[in-house]
A = this chain, B = another copy of it.
């Protein structure tokens, strides 16, 4: 949570002039984004009635060659009515520009607030919105491999090392090795793919009451199993802070999803293993970050054990973690 780069008013005003959005009237650095700097920008708007945007500066982690995928995806989904922010193109129709050595993009501002403790009605809306992007992305022409799929989880585990994992929790090395073997043997091969968000935590959803105002932060989006995205969202939304399961939220999430994109029998059966994979994915990236981030760094480290517990929960409960809507 930081703004990594200082941009003066003069530099911002001149950047905004490259877009047909009126002139700059306000700019506030916002405390969002781990690998980006973001500003909430206001302009006079094309018609003088005012307009707001998010200006994102890509600081690190991002491969410039991938920006057209991410930004093009937003445009594709927005054009199909999905609640995602459009990319504002500059006067030369570029989706991003370079400011010095860094890429910047001007993104539509969407209203809404991220909830800490989602209610079932909110999870239902999120499920429906997620299914909507899976359907709408079917004819998106670009593609991007998932850099955080099963093979990468083993690489992350190797990077952490047994001693590293054990330093986080003595039970972690066995859990990781056991689950990696299980997932390797049981990962579904032939489920329908889509462009997936792959990181749809509550802080990446702007809610307006029970409605979804916007899905944001598509910088992990990639082509992968559609139902895996639902499993990621399940792992991210359906647990209390103390780790206990919230079955009503889970049921509503799946119900909302199925109302827009019904799951096949194979997809339903695969949900428990997909959710174990989802929990593994976040457990492993958090473990890696935990071991590679100084305790006093700017970025708050997230506890890998939150997802170790969810992983165990999914392994123990199987289908019971996925209360399905009535057929």
Q: Which residues of A contact B (CB under 8 A)?
A: 1-3, 8-13, 24-32, 40, 42, 111-117, 206-208, 213, 296, 298
Q: How far is the CA of A3 from the CA of B38 in the complex (A)?
A: 14
Which chain B residues border A40 with CB–CB below 8 Å? 28, 30, 40
Give the copy number.
Answer: 2
Among B9, B111, B116, B296, contact of A116 (Cβ-Cβ < 8 Å)? B9
Chain B nearest CB from A209 CB (Å) reads: 8
Q: Top 4 A-B pairs ranked by shortest CB distance?
A: A8-B116, A9-B113, A29-B31, A3-B31
Q: Tell me what chain A mostly uses at the interface: helix, strand, loop, or mixed.
A: mixed
Q: Which of A11, A25, A27, A113 has the most CB of B within 10 A?
A: A113
Q: How far is the CA of A174 from the CA of B2 in the complex (A)?
A: 39
Q: Can you report 17 residue pairs joining A to B where beta carbons are below 8 Å apart? A: A8-B116, A8-B117, A10-B117, A11-B116, A12-B113, A13-B113, A24-B113, A25-B111, A25-B113, A28-B28, A28-B31, A28-B40, A29-B31, A29-B32, A30-B30, A30-B40, A42-B111
Which chain B residues border A31 with CB–CB below 8 Å? 2-3, 28-31
Of chain B, the residue at the smallest CB distance from A116 is B8
Among B10, B26, B28, contact of A115 (Cβ-Cβ < 8 Å)? B10
> Are B29 and A112 interface neighbours, CB within 8 A?
no
> Are A26 and B113 interface neighbours, CB within 8 A?
yes
Q: How far is the CA of A6 from the CA of B32 in the complex (A)?
A: 12
Q: How far is the CA of A199 from the CA of B9 in the complex (A)?
A: 20
Which chain B residues border A30 with CB–CB below 8 Å? 28-31, 40
Q: Which of A10, A26, A42 has the most CB of B within 10 A?
A: A26
> Are B8 and A115 interface neighbours, CB within 8 A?
yes
